[in-house]
Amino acid sequence: MSTSATDGVVRVALLGCGTVGSQVVRLLREHGDDWTARSGAKLELVGIAVRDTATERDPWVPRELLTEDAEELVTRADVVVELIGGIEPARTLVLRALTSGATVVTGNKALLAAHGPELHAAAEAGDADLYYEAAVAGAIPVVYGLRESLAGDKITAVLGIVNGTTNYILDEMATRGLSFETALAQAQELGYAEADPTADVDGHDAAAKAAILASLAFHTRVSIEDVPVTGIRSITAEDMAEARDSGHVIKLLAVARRTVTDGTEGISVRVHPALLPAAHPLAAVHGAFNAVVVEAESAGRLMFYGQGAGGAPTASAVLSDVVAAASHKVHGGHAPRESTYAELPLHGPATTAARSQIKLRLADRPGTLAAVAGVFGEEGVSIDSVRQQRADDGVASITIVSDVATEAALDRTVARLAEEPSVHEVISVTRVEGA
Ligand code: NDP
Ligand code: HSE
């Protein structure tokens, strides 16, 4: 298929007709005239590839367009919309489309975060465009925001709640006192979490999105392999209650920051649960909603908020890419190319600054707190606050919040505390953000 639709018709192939794909079909059928008026191109859906054509579909899905031969379908399209998910066969199909000059629109963060450079290189080789608004935070136009709206600014930090399932679980734990297990079961019942919720609760879905956001924000290639990740399985209802009592909430955050160490600029990218002050804008993000806060030198703080998942919201982001792609096919022009000129180094634990809350159980006798404070001092970690809960049977619970220190120093401190004779248990270590 040609890279420009000279007859004003843009042929669209849809790969996948599940939660998102089916809604894309609906929106194309219901609002096709609007998309034509906006793009100047008549969008013709030429086929829908699925795993099994015999499966029952939503009533608006035209059965005659269904095919199990995705490879053949890709050869007939100007724009390929990939909504299969996962790595293969999505990767092979997307590469084939791009190298033949077709535009690809995808919502596949797993594929982008693992094989982004290969996909962008294929787009370059095929003089093709790659759009992926739906890959991060569903309906929220944060990819466009970073890639285009903020192209004239210098971004210093991106903090996001980019996984709806985990935000729903943490919110239910915080607001209704549910246990992690009960909140997860509820998320599964409501269809937010998959039967196998690993990618969500262990933070891998958020890590893929963090890699994409960091790549865009800092003009540097970041892969999912570069993102240290901690999920939410170990958070308890008690942690939530204590966070509330100290004026905080716990959220699973994707955090990407520009960092300077010994005069060298770099970036750090992380996914972990974090304590946020209740007044922080991300603390007010409830349920399965997503939000991304971007801090930029000239623009200051911006916040993008909305539905991060679901068929129709995600299809909205897909359609915005399809309309832009169709417009380029008819009128010329390209999507912005991958921008990696900055090539900033990734700063590891030795240089990345963080604050942590460390909860301990220790012997309730004179001198034990001094010993604990001594470990902090010897590791060069300053203490910001200490709270002691009621001593029970000679054991006290202590919550210590550190000042900013390197992750490496904080890790060493925690490792030494675990070995300290007066410390019965290191109960938890949680990052503190936004203070
Ligand atoms: P679903 O699992 O609901 O749908 C996947 C579709 O792909 C199904 O129609 C399936 O066919 C089809 N498919 C699977 N394997 C093949 C194959 N080998 N060849 C052809 N078709 C195949 O996924 P979603 O719609 O939820 O997600 C699609 C993409 O969008 C993913 O990358 C996801 O990460 C992303 N996304 C999803 C969001 C959401 O809320 N669901 C939000 C943001 C992004 P069949 O129907 O026959 O089984
Ligand atoms: N599982 C993801 C979430 C879907 O819960 O946010 C969108 O990527």
| pLDDT (mean) for 402-412 | 96
Residue 336 lies in a domain: no
Instruction: Please say if the pLDDT value at position 6 is more than 80.
Output: no
- On whether the CB atoms of residues 317 and 138 are closer than 8 A, the answer is yes
According to the model, what pLDDT value does residue 5 have?
A: 56
Does residue 75 sit in the same domain as residue 158?
Answer: no
According to the model, what pLDDT value does residue 327 have?
A: 96
Does residue 299 sit in the same domain as residue 151?
Answer: yes
Looking at the structure of the chain, the number of domains it has is 3
Q: How far apart are CA 32 and CA 311, in angstroms?
A: 18
Ligand 1 pocket, 53 CB below 6 A? Answer: no
* Pocket perturbation via mutation, ligand 2, pick of 111, 136, 165 by most ligand atoms within 8 A of CB: 165
Ligand 2 pocket, 167 CB below 6 A? Answer: no
Does residue 15 sit in the same domain as residue 132?
Answer: yes
Residue 346 lies in a domain: no
Q: How far apart are CA 42 and CA 33, in angstroms?
A: 8
Say how many Å lie between the CA of residue 308 and the centre of ligand 2: 7
Does residue 89 sit in the same domain as residue 186?
Answer: no
Say how many Å lie between the CA of residue 334 and the centre of ligand 2: 29
User: Under 8 Å CB-to-CB from 154, ≥6 apart: which residues?
Assistant: 296, 297, 298
Q: pLDDT tens digits for 206-223?
A: 999 999 999 999 999 999
Q: pLDDT tens digits for 357-402?
A: 999 999 999 999 999 999 999 999 999 999 998 777 889 999 999 9
What is the span of the domain harbouring residue 212? 142-307
Looking at the CA of residue 209, tell me the nearest atom of ligand 2.
Answer: 8
Ligand 2 pocket, 135 CB below 6 A? Answer: no
According to the model, what pLDDT value does residue 3 have?
A: 42
Does residue 225 sit in the same domain as residue 291?
Answer: yes
Does residue 108 sit in the same domain as residue 182?
Answer: no
**Catalytic residue of the set 109, 154, 209, 251:** 209
According to the model, what pLDDT value does residue 297 have?
A: 98
Residue 403 lies in a domain: yes
Instruction: Please say if the pLDDT value at position 236 is more than 90.
Output: yes
Say how many Å lie between the CA of residue 135 and the centre of ligand 2: 9
Does residue 297 sit in the same domain as residue 327?
Answer: no
Task: Based on the residue annotation, tell me whether 209 is a catalytic residue of this protein.
Answer: yes
Mean pLDDT (the chain) is 95
* Nearest ligand (C-alpha, residue 49): 1
Instruction: Please say if the pLDDT value at position 203 is more than 50.
Output: yes
The pair of structure tokens assigned to 159 is 């903090």
**Confidence (pTM):** 0.95
Does residue 151 sit in the same domain as residue 262?
Answer: yes
Domain of 323, CATH number, reads 3.40.50.720
Instruction: Please say if the pLDDT value at position 261 is more than 50.
Output: yes
Q: How far apart are CA 92 and CA 291, in angstroms?
A: 32
Ligand 1 pocket, 52 CB below 6 A? Answer: yes
According to the model, what pLDDT value does residue 2 have?
A: 44
Q: How far apart are CA 107 and CA 98, in angstroms?
A: 15
Does residue 152 sit in the same domain as residue 298?
Answer: yes
Domain of 282, CATH number, reads 3.30.360.10
- On whether the CB atoms of residues 428 and 362 are closer than 8 A, the answer is no
- On whether the CB atoms of residues 424 and 397 are closer than 8 A, the answer is no
* Nearest ligand (C-alpha, residue 67): 1
